[in-house]
């Protein structure tokens, strides 16, 4: 009978990998991709260098895995938020709330996705395009529904969603540079919501 690792062993391995991934997010966010080293990451995670190479062959591979998992986390949070509401204002507010909450409480995640590794990791180019496409579609779906219900004026919802994605990212990145980001979060959500409804020419109710 082939050897099978116990549940406890697998849990320990998963915990080490998770610790490294979380540490890597913090290190890449603080130092940038080029300056961050594998030693920085394992030191932050409290694991041995050998443990790193058990999971990843090099820093670039780790970064790509990290980007994929982080993107999935953010996209899922925003998508679930928008899908839990019925009207365009409710959907946009819920999605923005989810996005801003992650930005404020897990700023390294947003920094990694929006600015981390830009131009530094060639293997990330396709992943970044996929992330931007999925994010745009998340903002487009509520617009398509509102258009079908004639709650917004006729428009190219794809272009509107692309504008939303770029504008939201820019404002949220600027929010993270403020010393009192958490205190400003509520106002930013409301301001972005009003911007989005005006930009989409929303004519419906609440």
Predicted confidence at residue 30, as pLDDT, reads: 85
Predicted local confidence at residue 111, as pLDDT = 85
Domains of the chain listed by start with CATH number: 1-56 (1.10.10.60), 58-199 (1.10.357.10)
Q: Is 143 exposed, middle or buried (0-12, 13-18, 19+ CB in 10 A)?
A: buried
- Please give the pLDDT value at position 118: 66
Whole-number Cα distances in Å, 168 to 74, 88, 174: 14, 16, 10
Strands (E), the chain: none
Query: Which is nearest to 28 in space by CA: 66, 76, 56?
Result: 66
pLDDT score for 96: 98
Distance from C-alpha of 48 to C-alpha of 69, rounded to nearest angstrom: 23
Count of C-beta atoms within a 10 Å radius of residue 110? 23
Identify the pLDDT of residue 85: 94
The whole-number pLDDT of residue 206 equals: 63
Q: CA-to-CA distance for 83 and 76, rounded, in angstroms?
A: 10
Could you give phi then psi for residue 152, rounded to 5 degrees? Answer: -130, 155
pLDDT by residue for the chain (206 residues), tens digit each? 444 555 665 666 678 888 899 999 889 888 888 889 999 999 999 999 999 999 999 998 999 888 999 999 999 999 999 999 999 999 999 999 999 999 999 898 888 888 876 667 777 888 889 999 999 999 999 999 999 999 999 999 999 999 999 999 999 999 999 989 999 999 999 999 999 999 999 998 66
């Amino acid at each position: 009978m082939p050897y099978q690792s116990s549940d406890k062993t697998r849990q320990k391995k998963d915990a080490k990998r998770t610790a490294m991934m979380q540490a890597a997010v913090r290190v890449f966010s603080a130092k940038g991709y080029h300056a961050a080293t594998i030693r920085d990451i394992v030191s932050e995670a409290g694991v041995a260098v050998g443990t790193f190479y058990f999971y990843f062959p090099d820093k670039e591979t780790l970064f790509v895995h990290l980007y994929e998992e982080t993107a999935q986390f953010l996209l899922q949070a925003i998508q679930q938020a928008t899908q839990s509401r019925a009207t365009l204002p409710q959907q946009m507010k819920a999605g923005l709330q989810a996005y801003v909450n992650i930005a404020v409480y897990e700023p390294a995640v947003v920094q990694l996705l929006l600015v981390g590794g830009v131009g530094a990791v060639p293997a990330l180019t396709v992943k970044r395009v996929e992330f931007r496409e999925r994010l745009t579609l998340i903002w487009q779906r509520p617009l398509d529904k509102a258009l079908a219900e004639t709650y917004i004026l006729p428009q190219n919802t794809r272009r509107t969603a692309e504008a939303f994605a770029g504008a939201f990212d820019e404002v949220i990145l600027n929010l993270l540079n403020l010393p009192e980001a958490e205190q400003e979060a509520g106002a930013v959500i409301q301001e972005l919501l009003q911007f989005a409804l005006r930009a989409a020419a929303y004519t419906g109710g609440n």
